[in-house]
A = this chain, B = another copy of it.
Amino acid sequence: MSESDKLNFMEKMKPWMGWLVFGSTMLGVFLLGLLAASIMERRQEAARLYQAPVNIADNESDSAVWGQHYPRQYDRYKKMSDSETKTKYGGAYPRDYLEETSANVILFAGYGFSQDYLQARGHIYAIEDVTQTKRVNEKTPATCWTCKSPDVPRLMAQMGPEKFYAKNFNELKNEITHPIGCLDCHDPKTMGLRISRPALVEAYERQGKDIAQATHQEMRSLVCAQCHVEYYFKGEGKSLTFPWDEGMAIADFEKYYNDRDFKDWTHAISKAPMVKMQHPDYEVYSMGIHSYRNVSCADCHMPYRTEGGEKITDHYVQSPLLNIANSCAVCHRWGESEIHARVEKIQDKNSQARKMAEHNITRAHFDIAACMQAGANDRELKEVRALVRRAQMYWDYVAANNGMGFHAPQECQRVLGMAASSAQEVRVICARILAKHGYLGQVRYPDFGSKEKSQKLIQLFIKNKPPLLLTKK
């Protein structure tokens, strides 16, 4: 085009310029409208999740019924039955902690955990696992059911917690059939998170706190804390109780149990009054950096997941290591293998310290038994029995924990160090007691290198026919 042509064209277009501006504005507004509509639609999809379904009964313990309304959550929940832990880590599944670490047999001598200590296979196996374990027998109270099933809140609502705890385990076998599921954590009317077990509420009350004031984010951990905690069966009524009155650190638990002169069992080798730590996961977690930064259990173990345009909480509860991309990597933008390596390094250090403590504590039990064989009486052994009780309680606070020290690496390492040192103190004092009774040599530690050998060995102690641990005078 020549200069004059250009001017001509501009001149011709002039009357149309207004229309052009108008037209493109209209188009823009239309597209914005489409975008808004799409956003609203997504919001409505999400909102559906929060609409209270009218037809889930107050104490509906069958998760399949809930699943009709929440198919995506239920589908993921069901995935727990083909646990990937199995295939990802290889080896026996579920892991046998007595095969893996035969020291466990010695440490729990005289207690059910020395007979049977298998890896828990996840929520969906709760009923199967608890009815199959050798730790349950005809004397087991119904309290043992407390954490295993949504039938529990249903039964507790009917009979009250006291009557529930007072029953025998076998008495309720036909009533309790559904594994841990929806009702354990959710209100069927509002779908809000809800505490369904009394022990946690009571523990809060005794500390002068009201759990009803917990925030939603806190609830995303507290529903787990109904079970993933240290607890014991209190008194004759066997009511499930958290020893949180002094605090949640191991020293607080130690004080709590000592003040109440509580023991779970008498150790078959050392005759020390022992306390078994359950799985103080919530307590240990609460001392770590993730808790400090307000990251909840669900954030890592039940991360968000998008399915068909809906953002759901993944109800396939599992180790975040099996789902790094959706859990850890949301905050920690490193490669999966890097995250994995980092976690394993933390766990390896924890495991090393655990083994050191196990080494010392098993020997401490035998040293006390040797003192008994040398003729030491209960008065002479009171101090060392108290010390070995302490050492093992500290060790177990970490060992019984899920996460293998990951949830609070420094604290776990600190506690294991104290366990190892206390056990050694037992041995220092025992060496003196042995000498006083004329035995100057080393204690002859029996072979407990396998589960089988160890179980045979502790039977000898239980039958009061222990092998001779003393070397000659």
Contacts and interface: CB of A to CB of B under 8 A. Distances in A.
A410 B356 contact: no
Contacts of A352: 414
Given A417-B418, A421-B421, A431-B432, 5 more contacts: A420-B421, A421-B424, A424-B428, A432-B440, A435-B435
Contact of A418 (B356, B409, B418, B441): B356
Candidate in A352, A409, A413 with the most chain B CB atoms within 10 angstroms: A413
Contacts of A420: 417-418, 420-421, 424
A426 B265 CA distance: 32
A191 interface: no
Interface residues of A, number: 31
27 contacts: A346-B410, A349-B410, A349-B411, A353-B414, A353-B418, A356-B417, A360-B421, A409-B409, A410-B413, A413-B413, A413-B417, A417-B420, A417-B421, A418-B420, A420-B424, A421-B421, A421-B424, A424-B424, A424-B427, A424-B428, A427-B428, A428-B431, A431-B435, A432-B435, A432-B442, A435-B435, A436-B440
Interface string A399-440: 000000000011101101110110011011001101110001
A432 B440 CA distance: 6
Contacts of A434: 435
A129 B261 CA distance: 55
A418 to B, nearest CB: 7
Interface in A180-227: none
Given A424-B428, A435-B432, A440-B436, A342 B416 contact: no
A356 B292 contact: no
A434 to B, nearest CB: 8
Nearest to A410: B409
A457 B24 CA distance: 94
Nearest to A405: B410
A435 B424 contact: no
A417 B415 CA distance: 9
A353 B417 contact: yes
Interface in A341-389: 342, 346, 349-350, 352-353, 356, 360
A428 B366 CA distance: 14
A473 to B, nearest CB: 11
Q: Which of A416, A425, A427, A440 has the most CB of B within 10 A?
A: A440
A351 B409 CA distance: 16
A355 to B, nearest CB: 11
B342 A292 contact: yes
Nearest to A10: B18
Interface in A276-308: 292
A238 B163 CA distance: 78
A434 B428 CA distance: 12
A409 B420 CA distance: 18
Nearest to A417: B417
A428 B441 CA distance: 11
Contacts of A353: 414, 417-418
A386 to B, nearest CB: 17
